[in-house]
Amino acid sequence: MELKAESLYNHFLLASSGATLASKADWSLIGRYFSGVTDMIHANLKQAPSDDSDKAVLEKFIIKIERAAKDETRREAVKKSIDRFYQFDSKLAAGYGKDARARVISIFDDDYPPALKHINAPPLVIFVAGADFNPRSDNFAVVGTRSPSAYSTAMCEIITPAIVRAGYRIVSGMATGIDTCAHLCALNNKAPTYAVPGTGFDVIYPRENHRLHAEILRRGAVISEYLPGEGPQKQNFVYRNRIITGLCRATFVCGAGFKSGAIISANYAFEQSREVFAITGDAYRADMKGCHEIIKKNIAKLVSNSADILDDMRGEKLLKTKNNSDPARPERPFKKGGAHKDAAGTLDFDYGEKEPLSDEEKKVISLIEELSVKNDAPPSLELLGEHAAKTIKISRLLSIISGLELKGAITTLGGKRYEING
């Protein structure tokens, strides 16, 4: 369903507000008090809060949305993001055909994934791009270290294809290491796969995965709660993990250190009452210590082969063949940096390329860098305004900062302080 301009704007504004980030606003509360996105934007409740707890959550929730709606910088960022959304949608269709499209889906829509709706703090709006997205598909998360050992990689390459052949779509974060391995295992077995990045769906991070990103768009989907054009920010990669696991019936951790995104994902899955599985290995291995820890805490079940996973989940939709643990080699594997010979469109379909900075943007970047070094801390908006006042008006400075955020050149910290990315 195509959204009208005002409704589309409201969806983007709600997505940018961060309204669920600091609340316990799950679907039971959201559905009880709101009828749709527009009602959220205008704070139109279906009924008065039934108790003080609901009232407190709703007040924080509504205040965040109201702040976003009144913030001129945010409104400008939303408008730019909508432009990027339309541009990306057109490029998708031109590159991969009419089935490849960009979509905006709210939690009130029929095509919002049911499994995701019932987690704690579900994203109110998701942005989906790609040729094959099924909100009711059976999904399985595969996550792990960005620097896997040969052993972790081998286990991923053995077990993930069996999960695919059992009828599950693989969901991961499109990071380097195990994430990349998991996506490739799905693609090599001619199956769709979903990527959930910590950026907008049109921004490729890491850059080396630009061809993988293109192939996922052509044969699966990229799903994000972040605005199109939003660049990498550290906290986003942590928080998006709840979506990776929330989309899935189970999560497989294929190698992870003590403090890693994969272990955060495992904990999210456990909190969401989803199954968690993990491999084990030598006790001294850094990439196994996190796996051992979640197994010891009974968060994850130990697995040494695909049968350990599939037998455990037997009863609903399971083995389609008897030899899932020994999958056949695919005819034409999609290798990192390569492409299928029969790929439709071009794998140079790369819209995450960083946009060049204007002269004004370069001046602001230099000023942020200069003040960061001088004060040994990221500068505040007020400090930037004071030093830029002679050459840049404050209204223009806000617009420039918004543009730099969308390009992923800077990150906004607490207290409206800014640091340069990379």
The upper half-sphere exposure of residue 100, i.e. CA atoms within 13 Å in the direction of its Cβ, equals 24
Task: Identify the structural domains of the chain with CATH numbers, from first to last.
Answer: 5-70 (no CATH), 90-312 (3.40.50.450), 359-420 (1.10.10.10)
pLDDT at 284: 80
Judge contact between 200 and 229, C-beta under 8 A.
yes
Judge contact between 130 and 222, C-beta under 8 A.
yes
pLDDT at 315: 52
Residue 28 vs residues 24, 61, 109, 245, 272: alpha-carbon distances, Å: 10, 14, 15, 19, 15
Residue 79 vs residues 16, 222, 278, 326, 400: alpha-carbon distances, Å: 11, 21, 43, 50, 14
pLDDT tens digit at each of 422 positions of the chain:
567 899 999 999 999 998 886 667 889 899 999 999 999 999 999 999 988 989 988 998 899 999 999 999 999 999 999 999 999 999 999 988 888 999 999 999 999 999 999 999 999 999 999 999 999 999 999 999 998 888 999 999 999 999 999 999 999 999 999 999 999 999 999 999 999 999 999 999 998 899 999 999 999 999 999 999 999 988 899 999 999 999 999 999 999 988 889 999 999 999 999 999 999 988 788 889 999 999 999 999 999 999 999 988 875 444 443 444 433 333 334 444 333 333 333 333 333 445 578 888 888 988 988 888 888 788 888 888 888 887 887 778 877 886 776 566 777 665 677 888 75
The predicted model scores a pTM of: 0.76
Please give the DSSP secondary-structure letter assigned to residue 283. Answer: T
pLDDT at 158: 94
pLDDT at 175: 94
Q: Which helix (H) or strand (E) holds 410?
A: strand 410-413
**DSSP states of 32-45:** HH-SSHHHHHTT--
